[in-house]
Amino acid sequence: MLQSASSFLPVLALDPQPGEKVLDMASAPGGKTTYIAQMMKNTGCVFANDLKKDRLRALQFNLYRLGVTNTVVTCRDGRKYGKAFPNSFDRVLLDAPCTGLGIISKDQSIKANRLQIDIYKCSHVQKELLLSAIDCAKVGGIIVYSTCSVSPL
């Protein structure tokens, strides 16, 4: 699957290993998830989660198309994963949903459609997701946080 550097570098930083249990907290459409599975040699278990049910179709299609068999797809609020699966994962990838401010050069409409309150809300959700990711990781586990936005909030 073709990906930009910003898409595959978080997975390289995560460095998933064969046989591990890995959580991709915001996984659709699945580019990073399929790369994680590839790095794990399709062993262990990847939990591919996304909050939005309508985005899961693309994720499931990409998993099937690329022959990924070690992945469980879930549709949960990632902020609640930490309570449901405390200390459960060797590695957690959180490519957090963001305001899109980091890609204004690609989509000028973002500049006109974002309000200050949107940025504050998104920042709050990102912090809650990161806290949940911390709760999900085993002691000594690895968490990679990435987002396209460079806002200082």
Q: What does CATH list as the number for 5-146?
A: 3.40.50.150
Cα–Cα distance for residue pair 6/64, rounded to 1 Å: 24
Q: Which of 45, 75, 98, 148 is catalytic?
A: 148
Per residue in 134-152, pLDDT (tens digit) is 999 999 999 999 987 666 6
Is the bond preceding residue 29 a cis peptide, omega within 30 degrees? yes
Q: Write phi, then psi, for 47 (nearest 5 degrees).
A: -95, 115
Cα–Cα distance for residue pair 129/151, rounded to 1 Å: 17
148 noted as active-site residue: yes
- Closest by CA position to 45, among listed 65, 25, 68: 68
Q: Using CA of residue 110, residue 78, residue 90, residue 28, what is the dihedral sign?
A: negative
Per residue in 65-80, pLDDT (tens digit) is 999 999 999 999 999 9
Q: What is the pTM of this model?
A: 0.88
Place of tokens 């987002």: 147
| Amino acid (one-letter) located at 75 | C
Mean pLDDT over the full length of the chain? 88
